Structure 1
Amino acid sequence: MAEGFTLPIQVIESDGISAWLTEDHSVPVVSLAWSWQGGAGLEKAGEEGTTALMASLLTEGAGDLRAREFADALRDDAISLSFDSQRDGFEGGFRALRDAVPAALRLARLAMTAPRFDADALQRVRARAVAGARQVMETPGGQARRAFWATAFPDHPAGRPTGGTAESLAAIPEAAIRAAHARQIRRDGLLVAVAGAINPAELRALLTTLFAALPPGAPEAPPALPPFIDFGSRVVPMPFPQSTILFGQPGLAVQDPDWEAAQVMLRVLGGGGFSSRLMQAVRVQRGLTYGISAGLDVLYGQALITGGLATQNAKVAEALTVTTAEWRRMAEDGPTEAERADAIAYLRGSLPLQFTDSRRIAGTLLSLRRNNRPLDWLAARPARLAAISRDRLAAVASRLLKPDGLSVAIAGQPAGL
């Protein structure tokens, strides 16, 4: 990390479960995050949103506590407990004051082992999810995202909405939700990360208390991500004065040795706010959009290079022409030495901001574990970044960026397209 900043990580094991721990007693708070593989990636076509509904219902009553009683128990001890279904995984986590950790453990264990799935709770959560899905699809952004992913991966769960559609959510039976719970919440395949005011002995006991009662076995692995389909452009007509544009192309594997070099290169191209080339060319110099960005989007152990912007319908063609030109310029020449230095200085200097509270620390540790990073990944990152030369960045840009292969989904009424 940045010079003078360290994040000591301990590996704690108990009953076959390992956790990464960053111990810090300066504030009496404990944050715990855990995950499994699976999530929406295990859903069948037509059952999109089943795992997301299940995740929402886990905190809507468990054991002998109905929804309101469960919520009251969380509130009384200021416990934050949540579950989330993702494209290729499923996460749980809580944050609590140190004195409230026993209560947090009891409620989290109940949620995972004895969810009620009461009919009234299901009706309420389903109605909220259906309304949200409909609202998303009423916007150009929602339509552009749906078109992009569905066209890039038409026969894979990655091409389907993680949270489901209004139609799929309305049709999901309770039995499917219970089946999703049974396949996802398991004793094995767990990745755990912890930060805050807890010592190793206490964490070992916590791991046993929280997870020992889960059924044995691990969730199935979701299907491997197939090759990205280069679909050119796809327009979803919508009567809006602006169009929303999502563009992308294949990227690289999370374990690729050029991963960090790609991060640096893409920060120069599209991830550096007003300093990025895309922002300068598309917004500052031509006023074609309020904002444009591009970066790595990780799913199923792979990363696509994706980006987006919104602009007036009459300016869509020009905005895409300028974007493609900057894509090509980076692919052909790479960044300048000054751009390389600025990007690396930012990435090194901003690292401590990711670790300002226990929840963010636990979340970052869990992401490292999901990406199969070694224990010293963070400690060695500044030296790895500093060693990336301009020539290497130019080679990575030439290898990855495909200006003639950008796939573009547009929702709106773009002129001339």
Structure 2
Amino acid sequence: MIRAAIATVLTLLALPAHAIEIQDVTSPKGIKAWLVQDDSIPFVALDIQFKGGASMDAPEKRGAINLMTALLEEGAGKRDSTQFAQAVEDLGARISFDADDDTLSVGFRALSENRDEAADLLALALTQPRFDDSAVQRVRAQVQAVIRSEATDPNSIAAKELARQAWGDHPYATSLNGTEESVAKLTRQDLVAAKNRILARDRVVVGAAGDISPEELGPLLDRILGGLPEAATAPLPDKAELQLTGGTTVIDWDSPQTVVSFAGPGIAIDDPDYFAAFVANHILGGGGFSSRLMTEVREKRGLTYGVGTALATGLFGQSWQGGMAGGNDTTGQAVDLIRQEWAGMAEGVTQKELTDAKTYLTGEYPLRFDGNGRIAAILAGMQLIGFPIDYINTRNDKVEAVTAEDVARVSKRLLDPAQLRFVLVGRPEGVESTD
């Protein structure tokens, strides 16, 4: 497996991203997938994404999708948890499940000689999960332990409060883990209902990479997904409207340092200004030690070990967010600097900043294609957010086309410090809530 990954990395590094040929495949039952075929290694990877993710939780059932997802590998059909895991291991395969607020994702890795048998196991997990009481109680306890841990973690506390203020009554506003109380009330019937709310053929996108032809992939897709219902039992969530107002929220926490989370309006990936915002974010806070925030807050003044920003582009809502941590006595100064740099982006960037950002962003892109699993995930992600099949060919051209004027325009549009909300968890000196 390691040699296979290394071989794929070397092949991809030797080629520009546009040399990767993507094939559009439709199975006999109408399931669509994008495929990058590579017969050099007898190994195939699939990345299967179901739209909606944990945002598909039913009312009063927060945490059900997350718990259900964690239980998909805990036995299926006639095999209990141990037997199912052993069957996967015996085939040298890997099957994984994960949920976030936008998707329920399935990872599948198998040697070519065993892919049909491994596919049958995955199909069982998706269509006939057991939800045995012993497994439910064990995984429920694990989830509740995570919830209790997050309740004492300043980073989690800050992130949850910021999300609560940002997204109102949308599922984005609450943790996909649910609460101890909501998870405790979930029954096996709730888990079956949660599965039916999301695991259906009308919600799925698939990326595939490795030793498989389009003619072979179609039947494999039907083998894995053909037994799922044609349509899910619940509609996708509505779009989330960002409800943040500018200002500061301070949550008292006995600690020598303060954790800071902040966010303002974001931008959708299909917005004409998205790539200008993408470049702007790199210059502002997404570029590591080369970013303005790292320079001003850490390098010049030593107020934090690290500060960064990111475009959070969810399927149902977007924000432009960031975070840092620093001493209680200097956090107020750091927050002021972040606001200044937030506003300063509208005044423009230098040609060197622009050139350096574009050089990095275009240069690192081919490095993402470092193995069949990563390629399959990229292909699924492209479909999920609606990118065209030639996106890999054109992505760097879009980055290169961004001008300083574009960066200034999108910064004026989005980076308004009056709309920037800070959540501070700690005891920052001289800083009070402005709510």
* TM-score category, normalised to shorter length: over 0.9
What is residue 10 of structure 1 aligned with on the other side? 23
The superposition leaves residues 371-403 of structure 1 with CA deviations (integer Å, 9 ceiling, x where unpaired) of 100111110112222221111111111111112
The CA distance in 2 between the partners of 1:142 and 1:364, in whole Å, is 28
The CA distance in 2 between the partners of 1:343 and 1:301, in whole Å, is 28
RMSD, aligned CA = 1.6
- Which secondary structure does the structure 2 equivalent of 1:252 belong to? coil
Deviation at 1:231, TM superposition (A): 5.3
What is residue 150 of structure 1 aligned with on the other side? 164
Q: Does 1:31 align with 2:48?
A: no
TM-score, normalised with respect to structure 2: 0.92
What is residue 122 of structure 2 aligned with on the other side? 108
- Which secondary structure does the structure 2 equivalent of 1:244 belong to? strand
Q: How does 1:2-401 map to 2 (within 5 A)?
A: 4-5=16-17, 6-14=19-27, 15-218=29-232, 220-230=235-245, 232-331=247-346, 333-401=347-415
Deviation at 1:150, TM superposition (A): 0.8
Paired residues of 2:165 and 2:243 also in contact (CA < 8 A): no
The superposition leaves residues 11-50 of structure 1 with CA deviations (integer Å, 9 ceiling, x where unpaired) of 0001211100011122222110112222221224542211
The superposition leaves residues 44-82 of structure 1 with CA deviations (integer Å, 9 ceiling, x where unpaired) of 454221100000101000000000011111222222211
Paired residues of 2:255 and 2:426 also in contact (CA < 8 A): yes
The superposition leaves residues 199-241 of structure 1 with CA deviations (integer Å, 9 ceiling, x where unpaired) of 1111011011111111121452112112332152212211111
Q: Aligned partner of 1:27: which letter?
A: I
Moved over 6 A (4+): none
The CA distance in 1 between the partners of 2:24 and 2:100, in whole Å, is 25
- Which secondary structure does the structure 2 equivalent of 1:293 belong to? strand
- Which secondary structure does the structure 2 equivalent of 1:294 belong to? strand
Q: Aligned partner of 2:211: which letter?
A: A
Q: Aligned partner of 2:268: which letter?
A: A
Paired residues of 1:61 and 1:117 also in contact (CA < 8 A): yes
- Equivalent pairs, count: 416
The CA distance in 2 between the partners of 1:404 and 1:46, in whole Å, is 35
Paired residues of 1:187 and 1:215 also in contact (CA < 8 A): yes
Q: Aligned partner of 1:29: which letter?
A: F
Deviation at 1:298, TM superposition (A): 1.7
Paired residues of 1:297 and 1:304 also in contact (CA < 8 A): yes
**Larger deviation: 117-126 or 397-406?**
397-406
Q: Aligned partner of 1:134: which letter?
A: R
Q: Aligned partner of 2:399: which letter?
A: L
For the structure 1 residues 4 and 115, does the alpha-carbon distance in structure 2 shift closer, same or farther, using more than 3 Å as the test? closer
- Which secondary structure does the structure 2 equivalent of 1:240 belong to? coil
- Which secondary structure does the structure 2 equivalent of 1:270 belong to? helix
The CA distance in 1 between the partners of 2:241 and 2:360, in whole Å, is 34
Identity of aligned residues (%): 38
**Larger deviation: 276-285 or 214-223?**
214-223
TM-score, normalised with respect to structure 1: 0.96
Q: Aligned partner of 1:10: which letter?
A: Q
The CA distance in 1 between the partners of 2:140 and 2:40, in whole Å, is 41
Paired residues of 2:284 and 2:292 also in contact (CA < 8 A): yes
What is residue 423 of structure 2 aligned with on the other side? 409
